[in-house]
Each structure stands twice: as C-alpha cells, then as structure tokens.
Copies of this chain bind each other. A is one copy, B any other.
Amino acid sequence: MARSDDTRRLVVDTALRLFAERGYEATTMRLIASEAGLAVGNAYYYFPSKDHLVQELYRRVQVDHRTAVAERLPLGGTLEQRLRGVLHAGLGVMAPYRSFGAGFVSVAIKPGDAASPFSQASREARETSVSLFVDVVEGARPAVRTPAGAELPELLWLMWLGVTLFWVYDDSEGSARTHRLVDGLVPLVARLVRLSRLPVLRSTVDDVLTLVHEVRP
C-alpha cells in the first residue's frame, strides 16, 4: 500500500534523524512516534524492535557508501589508492552518526541479533558490503596478484569491520585517529599483499587461508 510505505518511511526518517541528533539511547520510541505524529504501537507494526531501526541505518550507510565510492572507483588506480579512497569515504558516510557509535556497535555485536554483520538476516547487506571490496580489488591497476586471491575481498571487509570498531572508540576531533589508522594500514596491507607471493611467506599465507576456511561456520 502506498500509505503503508509512507508511514514506514516516515518512521525510519524520523528515527534516523533523532539518532543523529541525540544519540541512540536518548531517542525513545515514544519520541520517535510523537515526532512522526504516530502512536508508538504503529512504529512496532513496521519494525519489530528498536534494534531493527538500527539495521535500517546500516542499510542506508551501506547504500551511501557505495554511492559515495561510485564516483572514485571506476577511475582505476592502484590497490592502495582505491582501498584508501573507499575507507575514507566510508568514514565520511558514517560521520554524522559518530556520537551514536556506542549504541551502533552495541546492537550490531549481539550474536543472535538480526543486525549482527554475521547473521543470516543481514546476509544481503554483508554481501553488498563485501562486493565493494571485490570492486576495489578487481578494478585495481596493475592487477592484484596474490595467493590469497579469492579471499582477499572478504579479508579486506573484515579489516573494514575492525576499522569501524576502532572508529567507535575514537573520540578524537573529526575521528582524526581513525583516519590516521587508515593511512597507516592501507600501505601496510598493500605491501603484505605484494609480499604474500614471496616463497618464504607462501606457506604462512596458505595456513592463514586454510584457517579462515576451517573456522568459518
């Protein structure tokens, strides 16, 4: 129904605006409802819980991340340049929600929760996010060559998750420390990818990949 979609959208927009303005905990379901001009129960008709509104936030952040990156990625460039661009762009997209970082992660980390990045429910969102790093790797010139090949995008995505976690803890002005982390991490990763073809490291790389496989659910 058209009306239904409107209400759903209204709830999300109001909630996300209030999240950014006041943080997660200060934004009560009653406040969301009253700001949207609805009854509190109505929001629950569309979203089973407050956490699901956070999941909606993830979705938007991801879409925005891809949009923000779409302008840079087709241009080519080295793995290092592309990776740096994508990570900084991601931090930029998340910036408005910085103050709400704690609630952000607290919700996402719950193993059972639908919002968890590893959950079945967010499989689509996860694959969308991983595909961003597939593009990073595949579009790089010169082409990336490493025994980690097929796993590399997923490993980069895991790294991005780690950077996000760091970002949440980073209370520096404008998340400056996280940006520094990215600037330090990216050349390191690029060098490790190159080194991974070295004979001395080859068996270690294989072991890492085996471990990653073995340990996956």
Copies in the complex: 2
Question: Is residue A210 within 8 Å, beta carbon to beta carbon, of the partner chain?
Answer: yes
* Interface size in chain A (residues, C-beta < 8 A): 35
Within 8 A of B (CB), among A178-202: 180-181, 184-185, 187-188, 191-192, 195, 198, 200-201
How far is the CB of A192 from the nearest CB of chain B, in Å? Answer: 7
Docked-complex contact B102 and A106, CB < 8 angstroms: no
Interface of A is mostly: helix
Contacts of A215 in B (CB 8 A): 166, 177, 180-181, 184
In contact, B111 and A168 (Cβ under 8 angstroms): yes
A residues lining the B interface (CB < 8 Å): 101-102, 105-106, 109-113, 118, 166, 168-169, 171, 177, 180-181, 184-185, 187-188, 191-192, 195, 198, 200-201, 204, 207-208, 210-211, 214-215, 217
